[in-house]
Structure 1
Amino acid sequence: MKRIKALAFTDLHGKMWVSQELAYKAEEENVDVILVCGDITHFGSSQDAKNLLSPLIELRIPVLYVPGNCDPPSLVAVTIDGAECIHGISKFCGDIVFVGVGGSPITPFSTPFELDEETIMKILKTSLQEGIKGYKLAVVSHSPPKDTSLDLTQSGIHGGSLSVKRFVKEK
C-alpha cells in the first residue's frame, strides 16, 4: 500500500490566519490527509469551527478532526461538508486506521468538553472496527498520552490522558 503523508496539528484557537497558513503548507507538501487534533475554536461555536476549517476543506484533501476541550461538545454531531469528525469512530486511509477521541480529561478550568478517563478509554475501545488486522493504528486525540514530553505544560505539569497512554501501549 502507498505511504500516507499527513499534516497533523492542534490548537488553532480561532486563528484563521493559522488555518490559512496550514492550508498553504498542506498544498505545498502534497499531503494525503489533514488531521486536526482539537481546539479549533477558542470557546467558539460549531459555525466558527466550520469557518476555521474552510481553508483546509477547499483543498479537497480528506480532513479528519476531533474537537478539543475549548470546542463545543456539539461539534461531534455537526456535519461539515469536506471534513469528518472521527470522535468515537475509526477511519481507514491507505494502510492506516485512525481512531479519534476529542475533548480532554477533567481539568480544574471547567472547559466545555471534558471527559473522565473511563469514558475516554471506552470511546477509544468502541471506536475500533473489525478488520483492522494488518493496518497501522494512529490515535487522533486532543489529549496526548500522560507523563510524556507531549503533555508537559508551560507550568511544568503533565496534562495528558492516562487512557490515551494505556490504549496506545495496549495496541
Structure 2
Amino acid sequence: MKSNMEPSDGKLRVAAIGDLHVQESDTAPYRELFTEISQAADVLVLCGDLTNFGKTTEAEILAEDIRTCSIPVLGVLGNHDFECGQPEKVAEILHDAGMTILDEQAVEIEGVGFAGVKGFMGGYGRGELAPFGEPIAKLFVDEAMNEARKLENGLRSLRTERSVAVLHYSPTEETLEGEPTAIHQYLGSQRLADAIDRFDHVKAVVHGHAHHGKYEGRTPGGTPVFNVAQFVLKPLFGKRYAVLEI
C-alpha cells in the first residue's frame, strides 16, 4: 500500500478526507477539490463531520459539490452531522446526490470492500469505560459497543481479499498524538479496533475527528490507520486529502 498520487497496476486509488465542516455561508466549497480528486483517484471516501451543525442547508451545499464527482463517493457521518438532531435527513440529502452512506451497509468497488460507521467515544486500554454503575454510563458504553458491532457486521459481510474500514472516531490512540491526552477518550474507542482486528482482509483504516492528531498509526493488531482530517493533511502534504493505494 502506498500513499502517493501515482497509480499502480491492480491497486485501487482511494482518496480520503475528513472534517469538511460545510457551513451555510459556503459557496461550492469543495467543487474544485472534488474535480481534482476525480482525476487523482478511483474512489472518494468522506470521513465524517461533513457539515458544521447538521443543518439541511449545509448538507444541500455539499450535495451539489458531490454531484460534480465523476468517481464513486462513499463515507460516514460525524458527530457534527448529528448536532441538529436530523442525521437521517443529512444522510438522505447526501444519498440523493450520489453518496453511499456506509453505516448499515458495506460495498465493493473494483475488488475492494468498504465498511464503515461513525464510531463513538469510550477510550483505550485501561482507560476504556466499562458498562458498570449508573444506567446512563451503561447507555454510553452501549452506544460504543453498538457502533463496533455494526462495523464488525459490515466487515464480516465482505468477501473481498482487500477492504477499507471507514470511520469518523479513531480506533487507536496513535493517531491522536498531538491532541490533549485528557480528551483522547472522547476522540475514539478501542472497541472499533477490536472489531477491525478480527479480519485479515482489512488493509487500511481511515478516520477524521482528531484535528490536531497524527497522520499514521496502527491498531493493536497491526492494521494501518490514517487520520485524514483535512487539518492534519494540509500541513503535511500541502493538500486536504490523502490518496491510498489499496
- TM normalised by structure 2 equals 0.57
What is the aligned length?
162
| CA deviation vs aligned residue, 1:79-101 (integer Å, no higher than 9, x gap) | 32311111121110112110010
Task: Report the CA distance between 1:14 and its aligned residue.
Answer: 1.3
Q: Which residues in structure 2 correspond to 1:131-170 (within 5 Å)?
A: 132=159, 134-148=160-174, 150-152=175-177, 154-156=179-181, 157-158=183-184, 159-170=187-198
Amino acid at match of 2:46: V
CA contact (8 A) 2:59 2:90 kept: no
Larger relative contact order (C-alpha < 8 A, sep ≥ 6)?
A: 2
What is the rounded CA distance, in whole Å, between the counterparts of 1:152 and 1:170 in structure 2?
Answer: 25
Segments of 5+ residues of structure 2 without an aligned counterpart are: 1-8, 124-140, 200-246
User: Paired residue for 1:123?
Assistant: 150
The 3 A distance-change label for structure 1 pair 102 and 160 is same
User: Paired residue for 1:111?
Assistant: none
User: Paired residue for 2:216?
Assistant: none
CA contact (8 A) 2:64 2:97 kept: no
1:105 to 110, 121, 144: 121
RMSD across aligned positions (CA): 2.7
SS in 2 for 1:105: coil
Structure 1 position 25 matched with structure 2 position 53: no
What is the rounded CA distance, in whole Å, between the counterparts of 1:47 and 1:3 in structure 2?
Answer: 37
User: Paired residue for 2:221?
Assistant: none
Structure whose CA Rg is larger: 2
Structure 1 position 61 matched with structure 2 position 88: no
What is the rounded CA distance, in whole Å, between the counterparts of 2:161 and 2:98 in structure 1?
Answer: 24
Segments of 5+ residues of structure 1 without an aligned counterpart are: 108-113
Task: Report the CA distance between 1:52 and its aligned residue.
Answer: 1.2
What is the rounded CA distance, in whole Å, between the counterparts of 1:46 and 1:135 in structure 2?
Answer: 38
Identity %: 25
2:99 to 83, 97, 109: 83
| CA deviation vs aligned residue, 1:114-137 (integer Å, no higher than 9, x gap) | 9722111111122236461x4212
User: Paired residue for 1:45?
Assistant: 55
Once superposed, which parts of structure 1, at least 4 consecutive aligned residues long, lie more than 3 Å away? 15-18, 128-131
Task: Report the CA distance between 1:55 and its aligned residue.
Answer: 1.9
